[in-house]
Each structure stands twice: as structure tokens, then as C-alpha cells.
Structure 1
Amino acid sequence: MIGRIEGILLEKAPPHVLVNCNGVGYEIDVPMSTFYNLPHTGERVVLFTHLIVREDAHLLFGFGTGSERALFRQLIKITGVGARMALSILSGMTVAELSQAVTLQETGRLVKVPGVGKKTAERLLLELKGKLGADLGMVAGAVRDDAQADVLNALAALGYSDKEALLATKNMPTGSSVSDGIKFALKALSKA
């Protein structure tokens, strides 16, 4: 398995790139999230990679971060989601956005991605639940500080769902203590 490529970026033609690694040119397909962060041609580039071997081809996919590659690997395990659709999903959403959509079970965010219909979006949400580190305290961008993570965990212990807990702490004042945060969240939940 080829896990990482480091070399000189020779060509960029979305979604393909060509990387020269010690005289060997590797053609790599990348999501647009990675493509936009690539250096200029002629500069050094490092990509985390995933190799798919089929009867008729060896396909190499590259990612700017290890978390993008890990998400790609989770996506291609899902029935009906191939490598091209996984690249499309990663091109349309960041890892944090997808993680948050899974936690909040928001099909609407997924169907905006080209090639993802309502049934596929529902299957993605069902099969990715709990597999992306999308449980409480782990949703990148949604948790502002340690106190909020502790409040989310306390609400989970009280039996509230991830979605309810995130919505209840959404407007929690920054810098609140854990006890104040729990009081704030319980008040918000009682109004809902």
C-alpha cells in the first residue's frame, strides 16, 4: 500500500495532479478541498494516499490531511459509495462539516453535494453515526472549549441525544463554568 507521497508537483488539472517522486510521476486524484491547498507547480508537496487496486486499474487518491484520508476510507466502506462519490463528498464538505451533519442527522447538508440523493444521504448518516469521532465533545468547530465538552458529556449522561445537547449548548456564553453551562443548557432544553 502506498500511504504517503512526497515530491515535486508537476501538473494540476482538477481533480488530478501529477507528482514527481524520485523520477517517477504519480497520477493522483484529489478532492477539491485538497486541490485548493496545493502549492504552485514546481514546488514540494506531501499527500497522504490511498491505493485502490482493481482488475483494470490501480487508482491512487491523495489527501492533504490524515483526517481526510480516514474519512475517505470510511466512506468507501459504505454500500453504494464508491471512490468517485467519496471524493465528491470530500470536495463538497470538510471533515468537520460532515462530522457535524452526522451528529445532527442533517440530510439536507448532504444532498447539496453533487451525486448524493436523499436515500444515499440517509444511508451515509446511518452508517457513519459514531464512526467519525462525531460523538459529544468531538465535533470539530462545534465545541468551543473544555467546559462546553464537559457540559455535553453531562447532558449525554442525563439521557439527552447528541443533537439535543449540541442545540442546547449552541448559545452558551463563552467562558462559562461547567455548572453554569449545565444550568444554561437545561433551561434551553426545558423551553424546547
Structure 2
Amino acid sequence: MTLKDTPEEWQVTATTTPFRGNKTSVRTDSVVMPDGTVVTRDYQVHPGSVAVLALDGEGRVLVLRQYRHPVRHKLWEIPAGLLDVPGENPLHAAQRELYEEAHVKAEDWRVLTDVYTTPGGCDEAVRVFLARDLSEAEGARYEVSEEEADMELARVPLGDLVRGALAGELHNTCLVVGALSAAAALAGDGFDALRPADAPWPARPFEA
């Protein structure tokens, strides 16, 4: 038996959008179930995101600490951000986020993993990249504001992130998924066996 997620779309008989925000909205669909009944499903419509597990030559991951108001926590995270426009190349978005949040560039990029963050209530898809061969970016630092103005930056051994995730001390989805995926890749066929940075992403099709 091959374990592989497959696309499928059940019939939608009606759709409304009761809320529209700056970047996301909420949609209500009337969906036909296999037994013929029609139920409503509310979910957040999201543009999609990218995240970057940036690994330096000493095996340390670049992380940042940021306040997240919905959960009332300061969370350790990896650089991440929204796709700005439909069809945006996710690699370009990831390179932008690494520059803006850490003023760092990378020469080697791979796809670490692709995930749906909360598929029961949101259509957000995230592509997590592995970035290596790091160096400081050229030019002026990106001017941050709001929550980002209070960010802390650090470089932490990958193993410490794995231990923190398993101990229930680190909770950010992209950090946990990225760290565990990187550790699994190292224990398996290695980073060079990962998908190339321009690998197809059916959840968020993009221009090359």
C-alpha cells in the first residue's frame, strides 16, 4: 500500500464569504457528503506561506523569537512569511523572508517539506525550505515594525530544537516540522537527496 495524499473535491452547492480581512478571509461552503446529505463547513482562506530552516556550517539553525497575540506567547520560530501574490515563486518568497527577518542570504536551497498547517479549518499550505551556505546579505537592513520590531535572533544547534520540540517546549509549526524533517533527512539519505528548490508545489502552483 502506497501512502500518498491525493487531490479530491466534493460538490459544493453554495458558498458565502462572511468575513474578509487584510490577508485572509473566512468562507462558508455547503458540501455534499457521500451519503447525499449537505453540511456547512467554515474555513479560513489563506494565500499560502513559506518558511526557511537556515542551517550554518556549524550545524546551527537561525531562529527568531516573536510575540504571537492569538496564543499569547513569544514563540521561537524560523523565518517565514506569506506569499504576497497568487502564483508567486515560493523560493523567491523564502529568499525575501530570510533577508527581511535575518539579513541573511543562502547559496544552497532545497525543499525540506510541504505541509497543510490546519486542514480541518484552514486551507493554508506551507513550503519549508532548507537553506545552507549562509552569509550576511548586502545592503541596508530591512526596516521592521510592529511585532517584528521586538524580535530576537539566535543560532541554535539543530539537536536542541529537536529536543525542545519533543519536550513540549517549542510549539511553532514551521520550526517543529522543519527541525524534525531536517533531523530525519540527516538520519536518512542526507540533504542532497531532498527535492530541488524549484520542485512542483501543486497546493500553490507557481511560475518558474
Report the TM-score when normalising by structure 2: 0.21
Structure (1/2) with the larger strand percentage:
2
Structure (1/2) with the larger helix percentage:
1
| Bigger Rg, structure 1 or 2 | 1
